């Protein structure tokens, strides 16, 4: 595998629909086609995930890394932080005494081991005490999955349901006792999803647009003050950011000046996502939306045509945020765009996926969906190399993980 690859992160959720880990996916391009079953070489793994790499790509989460039998037996794994990495063994792994002994050593070193795409079989019994998590394709188990789940749980195994695409599937597997869930089911609107932006969300969107369009501070102050709850939250945010400053924060205007326009914009856009009803920082939709917006912003900072334009990067961040509101609020994107004054390039990016912002959105959405074929096809259109994309991912995810973004209060 060459060093020209794309990296995608897939959310793995627990039974409460909270983020449990990121599963890391690598795809390279060979002979003009995407190569789905090729594993990254040991030196690439070490370069990405040793040292501060886990913080850059995983933040506080664990990372699930699919490895080949060659890498399983490689001493290179010793350089990875065992407490932060879940090693997902290839389903084609040949069980023998060498593999069993190696699994035992890795467990003793602190690694969590998982088996990909398995089903109940004598081989699983042989790995009892070595494997912690078993990934199961729900289509490969009987109509009543409860019996299978019980057999796995008797062997102290966590069950990971793979490729869960609908909420009905999630509910059924959750009821059957599965522990972890992988797939895009959480992006589907729930029955309780809002049908329109609530008043708080509308105010937050206006705040973000005022800042992006260089609105006067007094206009921003007046807009914040339309909501007592947001006024209080902004003051709390200012206090959390300026810890150690002796001066008291005595007004909304003072809070805005202390935070600065950029932090206030990020606060407004992050709160806009959280105002859908969940203020949990590990809500998967908020997690996906903030990661998408941050990556779009950082891709602009690398782009040769707009890398010096802070305004363009701000608009890219806004496009990434707004693109997720359709899932969060169950409101048609056309209605959302029609309800606020947006610049022309933001509108066409959201509605037509055209222009540079639209191309960037298409590219980032493809990575979110692990559609690497589209990702590779979009690279010439966004005029960025795989290496530039990786560096943008580093910056975006490091910012999110390192607490330099704005917390949801």
Summarize pLDDT for 277-317 with one digit per residue, the tens. 544 455 788 889 889 999 999 999 889 888 877 789 888 98
Walk me through the domains of the chain, giving residue ranges and CATH numbers: 5-187 (3.20.20.450), 199-401 (no CATH)
Mean pLDDT of 234-242: 78
**Residues of the chain above pLDDT 90, percent:** 33
Burial class (CB in 10 A: 0-12, 13-18, 19+), 338: exposed
Task: List, for residues 114-162, the tens digit of each pLDDT value.
Answer: 988 665 565 666 666 788 998 888 777 766 777 778 878 888 889 999 9
Under a CB-based contact definition with an 8 Å cutoff, are residues 400 and 294 in contact? yes
Mean pLDDT of the chain: 82
Phi, psi angle pair for 37, to nearest 5°: -105, 20
Of 59 and 110, the one with more pLDDT: 110
Of 250 and 334, the one with more pLDDT: 334
- Give the per-residue pLDDT at 118: 60
pTM here is: 0.84
Task: List, for residues 167-215, the tens digit of each pLDDT value.
Answer: 999 999 999 899 999 998 988 765 444 556 678 888 999 999 999 888 9
- Give the per-residue pLDDT at 283: 78
- Give the per-residue pLDDT at 336: 82
pLDDT of 38 strictly over 60: no
From 61, 33, 37, 38, select the one nearest 49 (Cα to Cα). 61
pLDDT band at 400 (very low <50, low <70, confident <90, very high): low
Task: List, for residues 308-317, the tens digit of each pLDDT value.
Answer: 777 898 889 8
- Give the per-residue pLDDT at 220: 93
pLDDT band at 406 (very low <50, low <70, confident <90, very high): very low
- Give the per-residue pLDDT at 279: 47
Phi, psi angle pair for 233, to nearest 5°: -65, -40
pLDDT band at 270 (very low <50, low <70, confident <90, very high): confident
For residue 249, CA distances in Å to 130, 196, 243, 281 come to 55, 34, 11, 25
pLDDT of 246 strictly over 60: no
């Amino acid at each position: 595998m060459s060093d020209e690859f794309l990296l995608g992160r897939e959310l793995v959720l627990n039974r409460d629909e909270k983020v449990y880990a990121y599963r890391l996916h690598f795809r390279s391009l060979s002979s003009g086609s995407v190569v789905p079953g090729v594993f990254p070489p040991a030196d690439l793994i070490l370069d990405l995930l040793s040292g501060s790499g886990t913080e850059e790509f995983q933040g506080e989460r664990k990372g699930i890394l699919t490895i080949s039998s060659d890498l399983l037996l490689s001493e290179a794994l010793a350089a990875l932080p065992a407490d932060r990495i879940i090693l997902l063994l290839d389903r084609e792994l040949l069980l023998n005494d060498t593999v069993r002994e190696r699994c035992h050593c890795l467990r003793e070193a602190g690694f969590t081991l998982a088996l990909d795409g398995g089903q109940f079989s004598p081989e699983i019994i042989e790995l009892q005490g070595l494997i912690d998590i078993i990934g199961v394709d729900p289509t490969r188990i009987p109509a009543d999955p409860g019996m299978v789940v019980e057999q796995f749980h008797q062997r102290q195994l966590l069950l990971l349901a793979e490729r869960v695409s609908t909420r009905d599937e999630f509910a059924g597997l959750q009821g059957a006792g599965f522990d972890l869930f992988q797939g895009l089911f959480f992006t589907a609107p729930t029955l309780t999803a809002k049908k329109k932006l609530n008043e708080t969300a509308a105010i937050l969107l206006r705040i973000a647009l005022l800042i992006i369009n260089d609105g006067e501070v007094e206009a921003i102050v007046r807009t914040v003050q339309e909501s007592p709850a947001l006024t209080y939250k902004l003051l709390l945010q200012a206090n959390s950011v300026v810890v150690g400053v002796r001066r008291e924060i005595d007004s909304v205007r003072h809070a805005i000046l202390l935070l600065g326009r950029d932090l206030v914009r990020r606060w407004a856009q992050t709160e806009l996502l959280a105002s859908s009803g969940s203020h949990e920082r590990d809500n998967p939709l908020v997690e996906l939306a903030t990661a998408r917006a941050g990556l779009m912003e950082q891709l602009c900072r690398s782009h040769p045509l707009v890398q010096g334009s802070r305004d363009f990067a701000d608009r890219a961040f806004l496009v990434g945020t707004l693109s997720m509101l359709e899932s969060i609020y169950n409101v048609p994107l056309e209605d959302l765009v029609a309800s606020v004054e947006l610049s022309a390039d933001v509108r066409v990016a959201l509605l037509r996926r055209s222009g540079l912002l639209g191309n960037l959105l298409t590219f980032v959405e493809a990575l979110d969906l692990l559609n690497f074929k589209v990702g590779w096809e979009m690279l010439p259109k966004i005029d960025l190399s795989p290496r530039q994309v990786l560096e943008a991912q580093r910056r975006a995810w490091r910012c999110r993980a390192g607490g330099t973004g704005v917390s949801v209060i």
